[in-house]
Amino acid sequence: MGVSMIPGYLDAGPRRLFLLRVCPQAAPATRRVLVVPPFGEEMNKCRRLLALLARALAREGCEVWLPDLSGTGDSDGGFETARWSEWQDDLVAVDAEASAACPQLPVSYLAVRSGALLLAQIHTRLAAFPAATVVLWQPVLEGARYLAQFLRLRVMASRLAGQDESQQQLMQLLSDGHSVEVAGYGLHPALAFGLHEAKVGAAEFGAPARLTVLEFKNGEGAQASVPVQNLVRDCLARGTAARAAVVNCDQFWATQEIAAPEAALAASLAALSGHADLDAS
């Protein structure tokens, strides 16, 4: 079945967002999928795989919405204008629009990396969430640790340039209201602290119909990370159909060269299209 890739814009309040819709051509969609993007450079690295996945999903009858959050991609504003709370509102607005455009369709959410934090924080504002299939790609479950890893890039870069900077100093700058530049990204305090405070576990994820966590590691027999094992265990205890699987492939959100591993595509297609269960290997 042919697919259409339709770029466009939608208004999330005062912010104009770029959005890519990928739809089946020959017949109306039977399912809709919303992608919750990752942070910063990781989104650039995932773009190709996400586009390939969206096309594959559309060929199976899914309509896929890929928004650029404000200050990122082709949406209005530079990264320095990005705010964590606005990202939450952006996603809610996009989901509402998707729901209006595709009424009554079963819904899947694919949250990529730190997108998991955002999805968990907004799920009570998403009408479709309780009945939804949720897939997380290598989720970030603790924003503070992710922020520290991001700041570490600058600390390392400074050290290599012979300067002494510490995470503590950078956090102090942010606390004092200054934006901090890391790897070319201007990080505003409101974005940094929103990320810093975000921490999600089973309670924060509520109870979607199905939760699949995919992690991606090179090499056979890799285990799911400890935080993901804990999340799945806790979700199961709360009655959510949850599972984790590790896919043997490159960590595509971080590789130097853009990677779009076939194994990642196949595992994601199985988990998102609402078809037969993914083998938890």
For other proteins, give the closer residue by CB, 98 or 155.
Answer: 155
Rounded CA-CA distance 60/23 in Å is: 10
Applying CB under 8 A, which of residues 225, 234, 236, 241 lies at the interface with other proteins? 225
Segment interacting with other proteins (CB under 8 A) among 51-59, 175-183, 215-223, 233-241? 215-223
Considering the rule CB under 8 A, would residue 219 count as an interface residue with other proteins? yes
- Output the CA angle 25-28-34, nearest 5 degrees: 90
Nearer of residues 21 and 154 to other proteins, judged by Cβ: 154
Instruction: Provide, rounded to whole angstroms, the least separation between the CB of residue 46 and other proteins.
Output: 17
Residue among 60 and 142 whose Cβ is closer to other proteins:
142
Which of 4, 172, 175, 218 touches other proteins by CB under 8 A?
Answer: 218
**Which lies closer to other proteins via its Cβ, residue 26 or residue 226?**
226
Mask 142-181, x = binds other proteins (CB under 8 A)? x-xx--xx--xx-xx--xx-----xxx-------------
Binding site for other proteins (CB under 8 A): 142, 144-145, 148-149, 152-153, 155-156, 159-160, 166-168, 217-219, 222-223, 225-227, 230, 251, 254
